[in-house]
Amino acid sequence: MVNTISPDPEWGVGLGLGVFVVALTLVGVCIFLRGKTHKRLVDEVDLAYARLAERARELLVELQVELQSILRTEQEPFDPLDVVADPGRLEGPLKTGLRTIRRQQKIRRQFYLLLACCSVAKYLSIAFAAAVLAATSLYILATPAAVLWQTAAWSAAALAGFGAILVIVLVHLNTRIEASIEASRPLFPTSGGAI
């Protein structure tokens, strides 16, 4: 006895059209995602890039002052206590300065990668909607070869998996950019009015 898969049109229509509506919603969101992301972050990223460069310069000047306080000049008389000066106090400004420089170097690259991922999301959502529509149509038409609608359904599932990974990447990049923007802002903003 051969076990054949007999499509249930009601189940196929309900699930297929439900997923297709979700897929169309994703397409609508993803079509404008890149433009909205660019508009929302471009000025903030440029400002953060400049602020981080200035903050890195300030930290390097602070490190230079610390170095000068530890190292004696040739004009100063030799003091044996200065020879054992603790360079450990340089560690904090040095780490902060390097972290700031790394953030400044990465923020624009992360922003452009975020925009590229937004573009990929648009095409991925369109492909997902097309795969869901194809799988649903093949299932409803009760194609004798079940392998066709199953292949289309597995393709849609694979695209959904890629989409989930892409969402994780988008969230990660957005979080890193927002953290860099936040780190670039002054700790105590100055206000124009009196307190």
pLDDT per position as a tens digit, 148-163: 888 888 999 999 999 9
Q: What pLDDT is stored for residue 117 in this prediction?
A: 96
Residue 193 included in any domain: no
Domain extent at residue 84: 14-184
What DSSP state is assigned to residue 90? G
What count of other Cβ atoms lies within 10 Å of the Cβ of residue 130? 17
C-alpha R_g of the chain: 29
The total of other beta-carbon atoms located within 10 Å of residue 76's CB is 9
Residue 37 covered by a domain:
yes
29 within domain boundaries: yes
Per-residue pLDDT tens digits for 133-150: 888 888 877 666 678 888
What is the structure's pLDDT at 80?
A: 58
Global model pTM greater than 0.85: no
When divided into structural domains, the chain yields a total of: 1
Predicted local distance difference test score (pLDDT) of residue 194: 43
What residues have CB less than 8 Å from 183, skipping those under 6 apart? 48, 52, 100, 103
| 15-53 per-position pLDDT tens digit | 778 888 899 899 999 999 999 999 999 999 999 999 988
- Count the Cβ atoms, other than its own, within 10 Å of residue 117: 20
Amino acid at site 34: R
Backbone CA torsion sign across 51, 54, 60, 62: negative
Residue 141 lies inside a defined structural domain of this protein? yes
By the 8 A CB rule, do 42 and 65 touch?
Answer: no
Q: What DSSP designation does 86 have?
A: -
* 107 found inside a domain: yes
Residue 8 lies in a domain: no
pLDDT recorded at residue 67 = 75
Q: Is residue 2 part of a domain?
A: no
> On the CB side of 47, how many CA atoms lie within 13 Å of its CA?
12
Position 195 in a domain: no
